């Protein structure tokens, strides 16, 4: 799953940014509800003007997916939020598979996650 939100004004940015962060916190909450804390990271890079150029939030762990084909079995998920505040763009992407299949399926997921090239406005 990948979702992109391009924001054209401060209100759109606030709505898009907080919506993306809600996806991330919902994911961490669902993982915790399934029995363990999520493995999370949060990083940011500052540009030469002192502005936040990029923020990245990740959450990974096992959880139940009630609308998945096997709602009573745990899925392993990895969800990433990438926010570019100075560009007004937020990406949310996620990969999941049955926990029992993660080691095999993540070989595909990792390939999908690594080549992301982010096209930003004005580039």
**How buried is residue 15: exposed, middle or buried, by Cβ count under 10 Å (0-12/13-18/19+)?**
middle
Q: Which residues contact 52 (CB under 8 A, 6 or more apart)?
A: 44, 45, 46, 85, 86
- Buried residues in 76-93 as b, exposed as e (16+ CB within 10 A): bbbbbbbbbbebbbbbbb
**pLDDT tens, residue by residue, 24-72:** 999 999 999 999 999 999 999 998 899 898 899 999 999 999 999 999 9
Distance CA 12, CA 6 (A): 8
Instruction: From 15, 35, 32, select the one nearest 83 (Cα to Cα).
Output: 15
The pLDDT, as a whole number, for residue 123 is 47
List the single range of 41-45, 66-70, 85-89, 112-116 with lowest mean pLDDT: 112-116
pTM, two decimals, is 0.86
Q: What are the extents of the domains in the chain?
A: 2-99
| Alpha-carbon torsion (63, 25, 88, 113), positive or negative | negative
CA distance 63 to 32: 8
Percent of the chain scoring above 70 in pLDDT: 93
């Amino acid at each position: 799953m990948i979702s992109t939100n391009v924001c054209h004004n401060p209100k759109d940015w606030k709505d898009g940014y907080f919506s993306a962060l809600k996806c991330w916190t919902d994911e961490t909450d669902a993982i915790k509800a399934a029995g363990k804390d999520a493995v999370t990271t949060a990083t940011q890079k500052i540009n030469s003007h002192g502005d936040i150029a990029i923020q990245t939030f990740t959450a990974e762990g096992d959880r139940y997916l009630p609308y998945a084909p096997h709602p009573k079995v745990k899925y392993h998920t990895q969800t990433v939020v990438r926010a570019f505040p100075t560009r007004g763009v937020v990406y949310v992407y996620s990969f999941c598979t049955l926990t029992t299949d993660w080691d095999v399926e993540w070989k595909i997921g990792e390939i999908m996650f690594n080549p992301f090239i982010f096209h930003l406005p004005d580039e």
